[in-house]
Structure 1
Amino acid sequence: MTTTPSLMATDLPGAAWRKSSYSGGNEGQCIEAADVRPSHHGIAIRDSKNPAGPALLLPAGAFSTFITAAATGEL
């Protein structure tokens, strides 16, 4: 088994984080995503309530699959 090093949002300087257009005002259940393919070869996701906290890095194809599954109610 391989171990993936922890990634923090602060490890992604210059990332342009975007909140989902479906996120409401201050409901507290928001994630943000940043396209970091040029520097980290993927799409990063973080909790908007903890912007300096952990980030999840997904290959672009996996992120696309995740978005499709969420949009169609598969999750």
Structure 2
Amino acid sequence: MPQLAWQKSSFSTGGEGECVEVAASPPSHLHLRESDRPHVTATVEPRALAQLLHAVKSGGLRP
């Protein structure tokens, strides 16, 4: 995997251990990780992530 340019979430607390980071790679993949566990990543397509975020915001995900 090529070197990724990770960006911290604007909602991060600013500390070193509580940040969600995202990076993009061609052709259309997003990579997510927590800054305190940078070796563990999730790779998703932008549309799938958008659908997940929409479901979370609308309360559509219930335990």
Unpaired runs of 5+ residues, structure 2, are none
Report how many residues are paired: 60
Please give the root-mean-square deviation of Cα atoms over the aligned residues, in Å. Answer: 2.3
Give me the identity figure in percent: 32
Normalised by the length of structure 1, the TM-score is 0.61
Pair 1:58-2:33 in alignment: no
Q: Report the structure, 1 or 2, having the larger strand content.
A: 2
Q: Report the structure, 1 or 2, having the larger helix content.
A: 1
Note the 1:35-50 alignment, pairs <5 A: 35-36=24-25, 38=26, 41-50=28-37
Partners of 1:73 and 1:29 in 2: CA distance: 24
Normalised by the length of structure 2, the TM-score is 0.70
1:33-52 deviations in Å (ceiling 9; x for gaps): 1111x15x31100111122x
Alignment-mate amino acid for residue 31 of structure 1: V
1:31 alignment partner in structure 2: 20
Instruction: Say which structure, 1 or 2, has more relative contact order (CA 8 Å, 6+ apart).
Output: 1
